Amino acid sequence: MPPSTPPGEFNAEQYRALESARKKLVTPLVVLVVVAFWFQQIVTNFTGWMDGAVVAGLSWAYLYAFALFFLVVAVTTQYRRKMAAIEAKYKPSGTGADQ
């Protein structure tokens, strides 16, 4: 576990800004991933909407499933880049942001 930092070094304003910025970044990404994935599960598992072919050899169900792989790469890229910026701006020194 990281070592305790004396209370005097803690800056509540700085933390509040960090927590708020983090929440604004994480919440939409979680919602996006959850909705995209469970919509795919429900639509392919309970309806026939995705049964047809987009082109010969590729069904809508497969196209959607493949798109989820690109979605996760986009989400991780976005999250990593934005969290680095948020931490550089708000995170107290010596807590891992600069490592």
The site for another protein (CB under 8 A) is made up of 1-7, 9-10, 12, 15-16, 18-19, 22-23, 26, 29-30, 33-34, 37, 40-42, 44-46, 48, 50-51, 53, 55-59, 61-62, 65-66, 68-70, 72-73, 75-76, 79-80, 83, 87, 91-92, 94-97, 99
Half-sphere exposure of 36 (CA within 13 A, CB side): 16
Phi, psi dihedral angles at 61 (to 5 degrees): -60, -45
Determine which helix (DSSP H) or strand (DSSP E) holds 72, and give its type and residue range.
helix 60-90
| Cα gap 63→17, rounded to integer Å | 40
Q: How far is the CB of 55 from another protein (least distance, A)?
A: 7
Q: How far is the CB of 59 from another protein (least distance, A)?
A: 4
Q: How far is the CB of 57 from another protein (least distance, A)?
A: 4
55, β-bridge pairs: 58
